[in-house]
Structure 1
Amino acid sequence: MTKNELASAVAKQAGVKAAVALSVITALGDHINITVRNGEEALLPGVGKFTRKQREARVGRNPRTGETVQIASKRVVAFKAAKEFRDAVA
């Protein structure tokens, strides 16, 4: 589902114009991005939560040459689905 398709579906269900729904979806994405970037968790009730985790430095291997390579530590985004969402999908 694309962003525009999501906006159309939300607009239809909420009874608002697609442009309004699109701007709300964009603002929601921006807010989640800023919140997680600042090290806080962003919770979407009934869907899940986004958090920032630190992935430690490690030794990897180049699959083409087999040579070992040092991989630097980095921050990554983690998502944990809410229980009701997991149950609905299962």
Structure 2
Amino acid sequence: MTKKSTKAPAKKPAAAKAPKRGAAEAEQPAPAAEVTTGRGGKVAKTQLVEQVAEKSGLTRKQAAQAVNAAMDAIVEALRQGQSVGLPGLGTLSVKQTAARTGVRPGTSERIQIPAGRKVAFKVATQLKGAL
């Protein structure tokens, strides 16, 4: 049998760890607060509230109330089957889906999927051209 080494695994060099924040770095905003999350990223509701507060001059609490009120109004309109137009962004609408037969993955069992409703989004030409 070979003798096993009792030596501990090598640690990562100190440079690989996140550097401590100095006085100059403390003044800069944290990267998590940025809305530009890069490709495939997601803007969280808190980030949206921060942007509304910053651009409108409202407090964060007031901006959160405004964002919540807007979302509630959009959801309520969609529940009632109405379309919601957001100028420069697009239109949210409710579409009916037909009943259909599907296949359960893994068992290949045929199942009946009932008719339902889904939310569709049509992008505004302004936004489409800007992307």
State the superposition RMSD in angstroms: 0.9
What is residue 19 of structure 1 aligned with on the other side?
Answer: 61
Which of residues 33, 44, 49 in structure 2 aligns to 1:2? 44
2:16 corresponding residue in structure 1: none
Q: Displacement, 1:21? A: 1.1
2:118 equivalent among 37, 55, 76: 76
Cα displacement string for residues 7-41 of structure 1 (whole angstroms, at most 9, x for unaligned residues): 11111111111111111111111001010111111
Q: For residues 46-83 of structure 1, what are the alpha-carbon distances to aligned partners after superposition, in whole Å with 9 as ceiling and x for unaligned?
A: 11111111000000001111111110000111111111
Secondary structure at 1:64's aligned position in 2?
coil
Alignment of 1:1-90 (within 5 A): 1-89=43-131
For structure 1, the residue ranges without an aligned partner over 5 or more in a row are none
- Please report the TM-score for the alignment, with normalisation by the length of structure 2: 0.65
Q: Please tell me whether Structure 1 or Structure 2 has the larger radius of gyration of its CA atoms.
A: 2
Matched pairs, number = 89
**Between the two proteins, what is the percent identity of the paired residues?**
36
**Larger proportion of strand:** 1
Bigger relative contact order, structure 1 or 2 (CA pairs below 8 A, ≥6 apart): 1
CA distance in 2, matches of 1:81, 1:31: 20
- Runs (4+) of structure 1 exceeding 2 A deviation are none
Structure 2: state its 5+ residue gaps: 1-42
TM-score, length of structure 1 as denominator length = 0.93
